[in-house]
Structure 1
Amino acid sequence: MSDEVEKLSRKRRRVLIFMAIAFVIWQLAGLQMFSDFAGGDRRVTGVVSLFAFAFWAAMLVILMRQRGVKSAPPEARAALDDELVQQNRMRAFRTGYWVMLVTAAIVFTASLFFTIEGNVAAQLVLVAGVAGPMLAFARLEGRDA
């Protein structure tokens, strides 16, 4: 059974990492300031953003299907949500909070030198707040496994 739990845990970590990366690409490619870096062609960043969204959505479906794994024995499902996993979720949540604060500080500092619109700043902070905990949870699960 521990092999099955490890296999499902590894799959969850990989899915979370891919979801976080796809989410960041999806959100940042949609920002005007990043399309300016790409040479001003909104079609390129639009296609990248759309592809990243589709990939993120596919990973979300995979993650949701894994959550209700019916083929796994109840012991394996319980092991995927034990006290250590719950503790890692709380640590990842705290990490996300600090990632958002650091991102807000970086955006604020950068706004002193560059013009950053409020909605762009808020989106950058929120993207960091979504991706940070996902990556932190994947790291913690890999380290503690």
Structure 2
Amino acid sequence: MIEQQMHAEQLEQKRSKWLLINLLGFILWDGIRILQGYILKTEFSLIFTPLELLGWLLWAISLIQILRLGKNIKANPLLQDILNDELVRLNRMQAWKTGFIVVLSTQIILLLVHLFYPFSAALGAEVTIFLGVVSSIAAFMRLS
């Protein structure tokens, strides 16, 4: 039993580490993509494009690692009970709630900004999705 708990703690630390890398990679990748595409209106930059690719690579690798961890956890019912307990499920729900509130707030702010500075609907959608994803992951990490 103690060995299972130690293994569960290691998996929890790995999950936290890969979630952080996932979040940073997503911010770098999607943030720069939005910045380049809508604000700077450039397709290629010697500075931003390599950073965007690095962000995508970090995001993709961390996503694969998170999926692998999930597969390992699901293979062991005891680990699944430990790493997906009531507190984790509550934290996940709170993170979704945070993301939803951020999405609604972003839409309200963008509607107000649009009155004075018109921008494309695509930019509004991109910013809303970006902030919703970032806030959800960050909230889960903060709560865990």
1:35 equivalent in alignment to 2:37: no
Q: What is the match of residue 15 of structure 1? A: 18
Q: What is the match of residue 120 of structure 2? A: 117
Alignment of 1:86-125 (within 5 A): 86-125=89-128
C-alpha separation between the residues in 1 aligned to 2:20 and 2:139?
9
Identity of aligned residues (%): 28
1:140 equivalent in alignment to 2:139: no
C-alpha separation between the residues in 2 aligned to 1:81 and 1:55?
25
Alignment of 1:27-66 (within 5 A): 27-31=30-34, 32-35=37-40, 42-43=44-45, 44-66=47-69
Instruction: Decide whether aligned partners of structure 1 residues 49 and 68 sit closer, same or farther in structure 2, where only a CA change above 3 A counts.
Output: same
C-alpha separation between the residues in 2 aligned to 1:138 and 1:13?
7
C-alpha separation between the residues in 2 aligned to 1:46 and 1:115?
27
When normalised by structure 2's length, the TM-score is 0.81
C-alpha separation between the residues in 2 aligned to 1:111 and 1:51?
32
When normalised by structure 1's length, the TM-score is 0.80
Q: How many residues align?
A: 137
Offset at residue 73 of structure 1 (A)? 5.2
C-alpha separation between the residues in 1 aligned to 2:76 and 2:29?
36
Which runs of no fewer than 5 residues in structure 1 stay unpaired?
A: none
Q: What is the match of residue 4 of structure 1? A: 7
C-alpha separation between the residues in 2 aligned to 1:34 and 1:22?
20
C-alpha separation between the residues in 2 aligned to 1:15 and 1:74?
22
Which runs of no fewer than 5 residues in structure 2 stay unpaired?
A: none
C-alpha separation between the residues in 1 aligned to 2:55 and 2:9?
28
- Structure with greater proportional helix content: 2
Identify which of structures 1 and 2 has the higher relative contact order when contacts are C-alpha pairs closer than 8 Å and 6+ apart.
Answer: 1
